[in-house]
Amino acid sequence: MPSIERGRGFGSVLVRLLGIVIALIGLTLTIGGGQLIMLGGSAYYLIVGLLMIVSGGLLALLRPVGAWLYVAIFIGTVVWALWEVGLNGWALVPRVVAPLVLLIAVVVSLPVLKRDGGGGRLALSGLAAIVVLGLISGVVVAQANKARVLSPVPGAANGGAGDPAVLKVGADWPAWGGSDSAQRYSPLTQITKDNVKGLQRAWTFRTGDLPDERWGAETTPLKIGDTLYLCSARNRLFAVDAATGKQKWTYDPKVADDQIPYTAACRGVTYYAAPNVDAAQPCATRIIEGTLDGRLVAVDARTGAPCAGFGTNGEVNIKHGMGDPYPGMVSITSAPVIVRGVVVTGHQVLDGQKRWNASGVIQGFDAMTGELRFAWDMMRPDITTLPPEGETYTPGTPNMWTTATADEALGLVFLPMGNSSADYYSGLRRPAENEYSTSLVALDVTTGKPRWHFQTVRKDVWDYDLGSQATLVDMPVNGTLVPAVILPSKQGDLYILDRRTGQPLHKVEERRVPQGGVEPSQRSPTQPFSLFHTLRKADLTERDMWGMSPIDQMVCRIQFRQAAYDGYFTPPTADRHWIQYPGYNGGSDWGGVAVDPARGVIVANYNDMPNHNRLVPRAEADRLGWFPRDDPRYIEREKEAANRGGNLSKSKAEGAGDPQMGVPYAIDVNAGWRVKFTGLLCKQPPYGGMRAIDLKSGRTLWDRPFGTARKNGPFGIPSMLPLEIGTPNNGGSAVTAGGLIFIAAATDDLIRAIDIETGKTVWSDVLPAGGQANPMVYEQNGRQYLVIMAGGHHFMETPRGDYVIAYALPERK
């Protein structure tokens, strides 16, 4: 008897504690719910909060009616949740999972509450609620993992796209995008959806260069003949045997750490075969790389030795004429392109530092000698090579940091342009900058001047710079094939342009957009919207807010109501936060799109996340210590941080406290709009997807969430759930004639094969590090290979590594 009484006494203590917890949660919901109502939001949180205070108080007094009340609260919550979001599995999670956990605890406490005789009925009621919710959960989880197939994938008869490239893809993968057309398509058919499950690792190569917060490994190797060519995270060049993965040679351009900016990467290299040169001559074939400290380096493709006839000892400094920019301000992160023997390169100018940062000048160099053939400074069209003595290229002009596309036949290079380095303020921009920023510029390599340009955003203050490489196709129009270019954008629109003239082949419509913000006179009343296709989703509403529980979901709802948000193109504000949706990682980024020309299908992976931003007045930014890298105050703080074993930019997302010196405001970006105390995103999943699009009509063929929840969870703890939540992704795909899409990119550290006809994953493998790179496909000795760089990405928070991994089917005995 004494032990039974002690057990009852301990059980009573636990029930009282449960009641106190429920009452405290109710108090939190009551306070936040009241604030939300005053902002015009949902009344649910206040009502439920008050009821939970009562329920928790009664449970603390060991009154069974407190448990009955909580069961009623839970049932009401389920009804409200279904009314708000229906059978949307991920949207139901914060609304019902945490309340369900409390319900289970209440049911478990029933034996202690039996003395009024109502415990059995209460238990049955609670268990019935749990069973019903379990059935609902089964339905919604199945829906969350389901790809939405809208129509069959068309065949070539529905309008295919030719490959206008000079460099052909097949056994080889001779350019970063597969070929000069950047379709990321391989005609190989050995690996199919029927045998892809047999893929196994054929070899692994390690570069020895681990990524850091400053530099990353986003490399896509080239394959020419029997050799793969690639760069490491810090620009070391490698030649690797295509069949075995064994190193043939390496060359280190010796990039100093202090010359590398935050979040730079080496995405690839360029191959060039000199015309009319004996193949046995040194550097008859060469690998050209842009470095993180602003050099072009050329080495012999056979030996890795520097090409002595290229510039000085095999290298050219692109920073000549820029006025000696501060270390780390200028870097080449993407592979240059070569058109008619001219190496064309842009460069990254470190974002968010200062309005009058280094020039975004585009330069063309002779592929054999390294001689400067042209320079395009949009503010100074009279400067065609180096600036006059004592002058520099115009500071602060928009730059091209991503990969250009070559059209050998037309003699054009297509440049996806960005903004000046003060992305979020436009008042000091000059007419030429306003004309060319966030535009695709078709540059004539024979003259070094634009032939045409097409702008996707006017006076861009959302960091919607064009990050994707443009893709060349032969577009079916009125029964004929027109040479076209597909231009993806961060805001999600896909534009189809005649690549000879820049004229849209599908209508682009001017629509009115929100006005106001800190510089209302600068905002364009309309913006161009593509009617071909957009990856952008509907505007956000309060119901789209998310979290791990009703509490953090309520916090996100409050932030939503407090922020300025008028939908797409909400102007930046300083008196309060504003919501940018999609954010600067939205839509299509540097991974680009892939095209299956036989089926006439565009494959696009995309991000679907908002940013929560605020312009910070200059005086406030100075008090916070937000200074550009070349400011003595920053340098001193960097030294102090280094002495403590860190650096100022460690784990800092782009835009999170960028000074934008030279304009009235700094910028603070909460990329993805995270809740600080859980690390989860405020918008409900999915955060990333993959879509197949009919090339001829722009119709969606199928759309699916992309990326599982296995490496994501609250407080940075991986959930290991194999459910398709749709994660942020960085990197692109490759498609094959075998009907497969190969892609890594997501934050779950998986590489996948996806059936292009249905959107279903038919094979996957766990990578040893994040796969934030574009894969490539080739054939060697009759065997088809798939290769991916597993290097990780600090912004995507995936594990870092230095692995180049090749997959193939088992060799036939």
Catalytic residues: 463
CA distance 211 to 218: 10
Location of structure tokens 């969430």: 705
DSSP letters spanning 654-700 = TTEEE--BTSSEEEEEEET-B-TTT--BSBPSPSEEEEEEETTT--E
Q: Alpha carbon 571 to chain centroid distance?
A: 22
Which residues touch 481 (CB under 8 Å, ≥6 apart)?
A: 162, 474, 475
CA distance 192 to 219: 25
Over its C-alpha atoms, the chain yields an Rg (Å, rounded) of 28
CA distance 467 to 465: 6
| Whole-Å CA distances, 162 to 338, 474, 597, 709 | 21, 5, 6, 38
Q: Are 364 and 400 in contact (CB under 8 A)?
A: no
Q: Is 600 left (phi over 0), alpha (psi -120 to 50) or beta?
A: left
Q: Alpha carbon 596 to chain centroid distance?
A: 22
Angle between helices 2-38 and 98-108 (to 10 degrees): 150
- Class of residue 356 by CB neighbours under 10 A (exposed 0-12, middle 13-18, buried 19+): middle
Give φ, ψ of 64 to 5 degrees: -55, -30
Nearest CA to 404 among 270, 291, 304?
270
Which residues touch 397 (CB under 8 Å, ≥6 apart)?
A: 359, 360, 361, 377, 378, 379, 420, 432, 433
Which residues touch 666 (CB under 8 Å, ≥6 apart)?
A: 615, 616, 617, 618, 620, 621, 624, 626, 657, 658, 659, 660
* DSSP element (H, E) containing 123: helix 119-144
CA distance 804 to 226: 16
Q: What's the count of helices (H) and strands (E) in the chain, helices before strands?
A: 10, 44
The one-letter code for the residue type at 662 is: G
What is the three-class DSSP state of 129? Answer: helix
* DSSP element (H, E) containing 80: helix 64-85
Give φ, ψ of 335 to 5 degrees: -65, 135
Cis amide prior to 628 (ω within 30 degrees) = no
Query: What one-character DSSP code corresponds to residue 729?
Result: B
Nearest CA to 230 among 301, 328, 127?
301
